Amino acid sequence: MKKIILVLFALITVAISIEYKYHHVFRFVSKKLLPLNHGLPKWFDKKILFHPSDWVAPILCVCVLFAVRKRPPKEVLLCATLPVFAALSIAASPLAHVPILYLHLWQYLTPVFVFAAAALLDEELKPRVVKAVLGTLVCMGTFQALVAIGQYFTQHSLGLRWLGELEFSRHHLHGVPITVTPDGKLWTLGSAAPFATAARAAGTLSHPNVLGGFLMMTTLATLSLTTGLRRTALMALQLTALTLSFSRAALFGFVLGFGVWLFCQVQQRKSIKQAVATVVASFALIFCLFHQQIIHRGGIVNYNQLAQQSDSVRLTYQTIAFRMIEKKPLLGVGHQQFMMRTGEYLEPGQDPSQFMGATHNIYLFWAAETGLISLVCFIALWAFAAWNGWLTRNNPHVPCLLGMLIGLLFIGCCDYYPLTFQSGRLMLFLAAGLLVSRRKSSQLTFVS
């Protein structure tokens, strides 16, 4: 049973960066479940879909429950309230009669299963699980870094569609997140080209920002699990790919997570010279090679017009979220319905077709869709997880996990994918669950 649990945790970690959506199996059912007056816009995803992790997670949770007979900690019960509040918000919305909205909650149960499985681990098994997860993160981070660097310098997808890679080429960037390049140059030593833009690296993930968040985690895992020249080489590689995602939130999230790790190391009177030297030297070399591209992107070492426009749109969405919360504080506008209701909360004269996104803040997003009571549970869950990590920061690899969680929670202030994307949810709930499991356990019985 122990080996099965380790393998399943490794599979969940692999699934973060390699996720393929399956929807053809339930295509007929999806059509049958849509009432004639469903009221859903054309762009809304009306399919019943699933990821491989949606099947692995419940199996993992059952295995842990069978192996470790333990009363669930309060954090697990708190986590379980989140899909309940989501379902209640749908039931109280104008789309309460649409079954597909409830079925989409399947994806929100998956991270709850992952969190519960991690939080229920006992003192014998959890160190092995943590090492398995961190080791898998190092391997997948290295793979994603190589793919991302290859994508950026070739400006072409690498034929990994079966792993979830976006398809694009330098001549066909429609629908792919881009960045502005000076004279078409991809790096300082490159030659000029007749292109003003370039595709941002996304690896096999669904968006460059999601790749950035994943590489933030894998770089911290590499920092915690490896030493010597291997650490230096792998961290430099992953930090380069992180930079080429051009994700501002991920870069600052890494700096914050690295700062948490450093603080814990200093408190434990451990050497930090090599780690600091590796990070500083890597960023110095990266800036030398890509400083023109970083400056043109904006928002990292400067604040140009492109960054200002991006932030202006995000502030507009935040204002909309506050209006939703003010008008519907108890249960929100309904889970999965932020974009549908945006037009009702715009200023007079604003065109709803120009605001087809959502607030780039997971806390405001969750409160706007599911209400303030749900938000209290949402924030309490991360606060308890972080507090558990802080109390056990002297344990091996806990500073790394704590840095990951703090980095992801910071990213959640700037982007919504830690809550709305399957990969983001797995990152956030896995890191938090492993921190909860680091507490000393009592009255445990392990079944071999």
What does the pLDDT look like over 120-133, one tens digit per residue? 998 888 899 999 99
Q: Does the pLDDT at position 54 exceed 50?
A: yes
Tell me what percent of the residues of the chain surpass a pLDDT of 70: 92
pLDDT of the residue at 124: 84
445 vs 415, residue with greater confidence: 415
pLDDT of the residue at 333: 94
pLDDT of the residue at 142: 97
- Between CA 246 and CA 257, with CA 252 as vertex, the angle to 5 degrees is 130
pLDDT of the residue at 439: 53
Q: In this structure, what token pair is assigned to residue 305?
A: 């017009």
Of the candidates 4, 33, 240, the residue with the CA atom closest to the CA atom of residue 141: 240
**By the 8 A CB rule, do 201 and 152 touch?**
yes
pLDDT of the residue at 173: 80
Q: In this structure, what token pair is assigned to residue 353?
A: 């077709």
pLDDT of the residue at 157: 93
Q: Output the CA–CA distances (angstroms, integers) from residue 233 to 138, 230, 239, 291, 317, in the order listed.
A: 12, 5, 10, 21, 40
pLDDT of the residue at 39: 64
* Measured distance CA(234)–CA(144) in Å, rounded: 12
Amino acid identity, residue 337? Q
pLDDT of the residue at 444: 37
* Measured distance CA(212)–CA(244) in Å, rounded: 9
Q: Does the pLDDT at position 445 exceed 90?
A: no
Average the pLDDT over 393-401 and give the result. Answer: 92
Would you call 156 helix, strand, or coil by DSSP? strand
* Least confident window among 30-39, 185-194, 236-245: 30-39
Of the candidates 444, 421, 348, the residue with the CA atom closest to the CA atom of residue 120: 444
Q: Does the pLDDT at position 283 exceed 90?
A: yes
Q: Does the pLDDT at position 103 exceed 50?
A: yes
pLDDT of the residue at 447: 39
Give pLDDT tens digits for 345-383. Answer: 888 777 776 777 788 999 999 999 999 999 999 999 999
Average the pLDDT over 304-314 and give the result. Answer: 80
pTM score: 0.92
* Measured distance CA(405)–CA(382) in Å, rounded: 8
pLDDT of the residue at 44: 72
pLDDT of the residue at 232: 95
Tokens 């209006």 correspond to 323
Q: Output the CA–CA distances (angstroms, integers) from residue 207 to 6, 201, 213, 370, 440, in the order listed.
A: 29, 8, 10, 25, 38
* Least confident window among 41-50, 275-284, 418-427: 41-50
Q: Output the CA–CA distances (angstroms, integers) from residue 173 to 81, 170, 195, 242, 403, in the order listed.
A: 41, 6, 11, 20, 34
**By the 8 A CB rule, do 416 and 446 touch?**
no
Strands 197-199, 68-69: pairing is unpaired
